Amino acid sequence: MSIGLINHLKSHRSEAGLTQAELAEAVQVSRKTINTIENRVFIPSTVLALKIAGHLKVSVHALFELEE
Amino acid sequence: MCKEEGYLISSYKSTNVTLTLQLISPICNSKVTQRENEMINSPEQISHIRTATMGFTGIICLAYASLVVITGQPQPMSPWIPGVAGVLTSIVIFGSFMAAGSKNAVMATDELYASQQSKAAQIGYWVALAMYPIFGLLIMQDLLSLSLAFPIMATLTGAAYLLPFAYLTCSRT
Protein backbone atom coordinates (compact mmCIF):
# COMPACT_ATOMS: atom_id res chain seq x y z
CA MET A 1 0.00 0.00 0.00
CA SER A 2 2.83 2.40 0.77
CA ILE A 3 4.62 1.92 -2.55
CA GLY A 4 5.79 5.12 -4.16
CA LEU A 5 4.05 7.72 -2.03
CA ILE A 6 5.78 9.85 0.55
CA ASN A 7 3.69 11.94 2.86
CA HIS A 8 4.51 14.80 5.19
CA LEU A 9 1.22 14.80 7.03
CA LYS A 10 2.69 14.27 10.47
CA SER A 11 5.01 17.25 10.27
CA HIS A 12 2.34 19.57 8.86
CA ARG A 13 -0.14 18.40 11.47
CA SER A 14 2.36 19.01 14.24
CA GLU A 15 3.13 22.47 12.86
CA ALA A 16 -0.58 23.23 12.92
CA GLY A 17 -0.66 22.15 16.56
CA LEU A 18 -3.24 19.47 15.99
CA THR A 19 -3.49 15.98 17.40
CA GLN A 20 -4.49 13.08 15.19
CA ALA A 21 -7.90 13.02 16.87
CA GLU A 22 -8.47 16.74 16.28
CA LEU A 23 -7.53 16.51 12.62
CA ALA A 24 -9.66 13.39 12.24
CA GLU A 25 -12.67 15.11 13.73
CA ALA A 26 -12.15 18.14 11.50
CA VAL A 27 -12.17 16.07 8.31
CA GLN A 28 -14.81 13.59 9.56
CA VAL A 29 -12.76 10.42 9.64
CA SER A 30 -11.54 8.20 12.46
CA ARG A 31 -8.25 8.87 14.25
CA LYS A 32 -7.09 5.50 12.98
CA THR A 33 -7.43 6.70 9.41
CA ILE A 34 -5.11 9.65 10.07
CA ASN A 35 -2.72 7.33 11.87
CA THR A 36 -2.60 4.84 9.00
CA ILE A 37 -2.05 7.65 6.48
CA GLU A 38 0.85 9.01 8.51
CA ASN A 39 2.36 5.54 8.82
CA ARG A 40 2.02 4.97 5.05
CA VAL A 41 -0.29 2.03 5.56
CA PHE A 42 -3.27 3.63 3.87
CA ILE A 43 -3.40 5.97 0.88
CA PRO A 44 -6.29 8.42 1.17
CA SER A 45 -8.68 9.27 -1.63
CA THR A 46 -8.31 12.53 -3.52
CA VAL A 47 -11.30 13.95 -1.67
CA LEU A 48 -9.86 13.16 1.75
CA ALA A 49 -6.41 14.43 0.73
CA LEU A 50 -7.98 17.71 -0.36
CA LYS A 51 -9.96 17.96 2.88
CA ILE A 52 -6.85 17.40 4.98
CA ALA A 53 -4.80 19.85 2.92
CA GLY A 54 -7.58 22.41 3.15
CA HIS A 55 -7.82 22.09 6.90
CA LEU A 56 -4.06 22.37 7.34
CA LYS A 57 -4.00 25.26 4.85
CA VAL A 58 -1.34 23.67 2.65
CA SER A 59 -1.45 22.23 -0.85
CA VAL A 60 -1.90 18.53 -1.46
CA HIS A 61 1.54 18.53 -3.07
CA ALA A 62 3.02 19.72 0.19
CA LEU A 63 1.47 16.74 1.97
CA PHE A 64 2.05 14.01 -0.57
CA GLU A 65 4.69 13.42 -3.20
CA LEU A 66 5.64 10.54 -5.42
CA GLU A 67 8.72 8.60 -4.53
CA GLU A 68 11.46 8.78 -7.16
CA MET B 1 -14.47 22.26 17.15
CA CYS B 2 -14.44 24.80 19.93
CA LYS B 3 -11.00 25.07 21.51
CA GLU B 4 -12.44 25.19 24.98
CA GLU B 5 -14.54 22.09 24.46
CA GLY B 6 -11.93 19.60 25.64
CA TYR B 7 -11.30 21.67 28.77
CA LEU B 8 -14.99 21.99 29.39
CA ILE B 9 -15.63 18.27 29.12
CA SER B 10 -12.83 17.44 31.54
CA SER B 11 -13.94 20.21 33.85
CA TYR B 12 -17.47 18.96 33.72
CA LYS B 13 -16.40 15.44 34.53
CA SER B 14 -14.14 16.47 37.38
CA THR B 15 -16.36 19.00 39.12
CA ASN B 16 -19.90 18.31 37.94
CA VAL B 17 -20.64 22.04 38.16
CA THR B 18 -22.79 22.77 35.16
CA LEU B 19 -23.50 26.33 36.24
CA THR B 20 -19.84 27.27 35.85
CA LEU B 21 -19.79 25.78 32.39
CA GLN B 22 -22.78 27.80 31.38
CA LEU B 23 -21.13 30.98 32.60
CA ILE B 24 -17.87 30.22 30.79
CA SER B 25 -19.30 29.35 27.42
CA PRO B 26 -22.96 28.85 26.71
CA ILE B 27 -22.19 28.00 23.06
CA CYS B 28 -19.80 25.20 23.92
CA ASN B 29 -22.02 24.01 26.69
CA SER B 30 -24.61 22.77 24.23
CA LYS B 31 -21.89 20.66 22.58
CA VAL B 32 -20.83 19.30 25.94
CA THR B 33 -24.40 18.36 26.76
CA GLN B 34 -24.73 16.67 23.40
CA ARG B 35 -21.51 14.72 23.98
CA GLU B 36 -22.52 13.76 27.47
CA ASN B 37 -25.80 12.41 26.19
CA GLU B 38 -24.00 10.09 23.80
CA MET B 39 -23.20 6.81 25.50
CA ILE B 40 -20.39 6.05 23.06
CA ASN B 41 -18.15 9.05 22.57
CA SER B 42 -15.75 8.12 19.82
CA PRO B 43 -15.64 6.34 16.47
CA GLU B 44 -12.88 4.16 17.90
CA GLN B 45 -15.30 2.71 20.41
CA ILE B 46 -17.74 1.83 17.65
CA SER B 47 -14.91 0.25 15.67
CA HIS B 48 -13.82 -1.81 18.65
CA ILE B 49 -17.36 -3.04 19.25
CA ARG B 50 -17.79 -3.82 15.55
CA THR B 51 -14.47 -5.67 15.33
CA ALA B 52 -15.04 -7.64 18.52
CA THR B 53 -18.57 -8.75 17.70
CA MET B 54 -17.79 -9.64 14.09
CA GLY B 55 -14.62 -11.46 15.13
CA PHE B 56 -16.52 -13.36 17.81
CA THR B 57 -19.19 -14.45 15.32
CA GLY B 58 -16.46 -15.46 12.87
CA ILE B 59 -14.85 -17.63 15.55
CA ILE B 60 -18.23 -19.25 16.28
CA CYS B 61 -18.68 -20.02 12.57
CA LEU B 62 -15.16 -21.45 12.31
CA ALA B 63 -15.67 -23.46 15.50
CA TYR B 64 -18.91 -24.89 14.15
CA ALA B 65 -17.23 -25.97 10.90
CA SER B 66 -14.30 -27.44 12.83
CA LEU B 67 -16.59 -29.36 15.16
CA VAL B 68 -18.48 -30.82 12.20
CA VAL B 69 -15.19 -32.12 10.81
CA ILE B 70 -13.93 -33.38 14.19
CA THR B 71 -17.14 -35.05 15.38
CA GLY B 72 -18.40 -36.16 11.97
CA GLN B 73 -21.86 -34.88 12.88
CA PRO B 74 -23.73 -32.24 10.90
CA GLN B 75 -25.04 -30.70 14.13
CA PRO B 76 -22.21 -30.78 16.69
CA MET B 77 -24.02 -28.02 18.60
CA SER B 78 -27.28 -26.20 18.10
CA PRO B 79 -27.44 -25.16 14.43
CA TRP B 80 -29.05 -21.91 15.50
CA ILE B 81 -25.96 -20.67 17.33
CA PRO B 82 -24.04 -19.22 14.34
CA GLY B 83 -27.17 -17.58 12.98
CA VAL B 84 -28.23 -16.15 16.32
CA ALA B 85 -24.68 -14.86 16.87
CA GLY B 86 -24.88 -13.09 13.52
CA VAL B 87 -28.21 -11.50 14.32
CA LEU B 88 -27.01 -10.42 17.78
CA THR B 89 -23.88 -8.96 16.19
CA SER B 90 -25.92 -6.85 13.82
CA ILE B 91 -28.14 -5.67 16.68
CA VAL B 92 -25.15 -4.74 18.85
CA ILE B 93 -23.45 -2.88 15.99
CA PHE B 94 -26.63 -1.06 15.08
CA GLY B 95 -27.20 -0.18 18.73
CA SER B 96 -23.66 1.13 19.14
CA PHE B 97 -24.09 3.36 16.10
CA MET B 98 -27.38 4.68 17.45
CA ALA B 99 -25.82 5.34 20.85
CA ALA B 100 -22.82 7.10 19.33
CA GLY B 101 -24.74 9.57 17.22
CA SER B 102 -24.56 10.33 13.54
CA LYS B 103 -21.25 12.23 13.62
CA ASN B 104 -19.35 9.38 15.25
CA ALA B 105 -21.12 6.89 13.00
CA VAL B 106 -19.96 8.76 9.90
CA MET B 107 -16.39 8.88 11.22
CA ALA B 108 -16.46 5.15 12.01
CA THR B 109 -17.54 4.30 8.48
CA ASP B 110 -14.91 6.38 6.71
CA GLU B 111 -12.86 5.33 3.72
CA LEU B 112 -10.38 3.28 5.75
CA TYR B 113 -13.29 1.18 6.98
CA ALA B 114 -14.62 0.91 3.41
CA SER B 115 -11.21 -0.24 2.21
CA GLN B 116 -10.86 -2.83 4.96
CA GLN B 117 -14.34 -4.25 4.58
CA SER B 118 -13.84 -4.35 0.81
CA LYS B 119 -10.66 -6.40 1.24
CA ALA B 120 -12.42 -8.72 3.68
CA ALA B 121 -15.29 -9.12 1.22
CA GLN B 122 -12.81 -9.98 -1.55
CA ILE B 123 -11.23 -12.66 0.60
CA GLY B 124 -14.64 -13.98 1.63
CA TYR B 125 -15.79 -14.08 -1.98
CA TRP B 126 -12.83 -16.06 -3.27
CA VAL B 127 -12.79 -18.45 -0.31
CA ALA B 128 -16.51 -19.09 -0.78
CA LEU B 129 -16.00 -19.73 -4.49
CA ALA B 130 -12.99 -21.96 -3.91
CA MET B 131 -14.97 -24.11 -1.49
CA TYR B 132 -17.29 -25.39 -4.24
CA PRO B 133 -14.65 -27.22 -6.31
CA ILE B 134 -12.73 -28.30 -3.20
CA PHE B 135 -15.77 -29.74 -1.45
CA GLY B 136 -17.06 -31.09 -4.76
CA LEU B 137 -13.87 -33.11 -5.12
CA LEU B 138 -14.03 -34.28 -1.51
CA ILE B 139 -17.61 -35.45 -2.00
CA MET B 140 -16.75 -37.14 -5.31
CA GLN B 141 -13.91 -39.02 -3.62
CA ASP B 142 -16.28 -40.08 -0.82
CA LEU B 143 -14.07 -38.34 1.69
CA LEU B 144 -16.95 -36.19 2.86
CA SER B 145 -20.70 -36.66 2.81
CA LEU B 146 -23.06 -34.01 1.48
CA SER B 147 -24.76 -33.76 4.87
CA LEU B 148 -21.43 -32.76 6.43
CA ALA B 149 -20.26 -30.57 3.55
CA PHE B 150 -23.34 -28.36 3.71
CA PRO B 151 -22.91 -27.05 7.30
CA ILE B 152 -19.14 -26.77 6.87
CA MET B 153 -19.45 -24.69 3.71
CA ALA B 154 -22.23 -22.56 5.16
CA THR B 155 -20.37 -21.61 8.30
CA LEU B 156 -17.01 -21.24 6.57
CA THR B 157 -18.60 -18.81 4.13
CA GLY B 158 -19.50 -16.58 7.07
CA ALA B 159 -16.13 -17.01 8.75
CA ALA B 160 -14.29 -16.25 5.50
CA TYR B 161 -15.58 -12.67 5.62
CA LEU B 162 -15.87 -12.05 9.35
CA LEU B 163 -12.41 -13.21 10.43
CA PRO B 164 -10.43 -11.34 7.75
CA PHE B 165 -12.42 -8.21 8.58
CA ALA B 166 -11.56 -8.53 12.27
CA TYR B 167 -7.92 -9.24 11.43
CA LEU B 168 -7.61 -6.30 9.03
CA THR B 169 -9.20 -3.83 11.42
CA CYS B 170 -7.04 -5.04 14.31
CA SER B 171 -3.74 -5.16 12.48
CA ARG B 172 -3.78 -1.92 10.48
CA THR B 173 -3.41 0.59 13.27
CB contact under 8 A, A28 and B107: yes
CB contact under 8 A, B172 and A28: no
Its sign, for the CA torsion B7, B13, B17, B21, is positive
The reported pLDDT for the residue numbered A48 is 96
The pLDDT tens digits of the residues spanning B48-75 come to 999 999 999 999 999 999 999 999 999 9
Its sign, for the CA torsion A54, A55, A57, A62, is negative
When CB atoms are compared, the residue of A22, A35, A44 closest to B173 is: A35
When CB atoms are compared, the residue of A22, A26, A45 closest to B111 is: A45
Q: How far is A10 from chain B (nearest CA, A)?
A: 15
Q: What average pLDDT is seen over chain B?
A: 82
The reported pLDDT for the residue numbered B42 is 83
The pLDDT tens digits of the residues spanning A30-54 come to 999 999 999 988 999 999 999 999 9
Confidence of residue A3 (pLDDT cuts 50, 70, 90): low
Q: Which residues contact residue A31 at a Cβ distance below 8 angstroms, ignoring those fewer than 6 apart?
A: A20, A21, A24, B42, B43, B44
| Alpha carbons A38 and A29: distance in angstroms, whole number | 14
The reported pLDDT for the residue numbered B138 is 95
The reported pLDDT for the residue numbered A67 is 80
Q: Which residues of B136-160 are buried (b: 16+ CB within 10 A; e: fewer)?
A: eebeeeeebeeebbebbbbbbbbbb
The reported pLDDT for the residue numbered A68 is 72
pLDDT of B20 above 70: no
Q: How far is B44 from chain A (nearest CA, A)?
A: 7
A3-17, B29-43, B67-81: least confidently modelled range: B29-43
pLDDT of B11 above 70: no
A36-40, B19-23, B47-51, B158-162: least confidently modelled range: B19-23
The reported pLDDT for the residue numbered A18 is 95
Cβ atoms of B100 and B40 closer than 8 Å? yes
- For an interface test with A, the pick among B109, B112, B117 (most A C-beta atoms closer than 10 Å) comes out as B112
* Higher-pLDDT residue of B26, A15: A15
pTM above 0.80, yes or no: no
pLDDT of B29 above 90: no
The pLDDT tens digits of the residues spanning B108-138 come to 999 999 999 999 999 999 999 999 999 999 9
Confidence of residue B30 (pLDDT cuts 50, 70, 90): very low
Nearest residue of B to residue A47 by CA position? B111
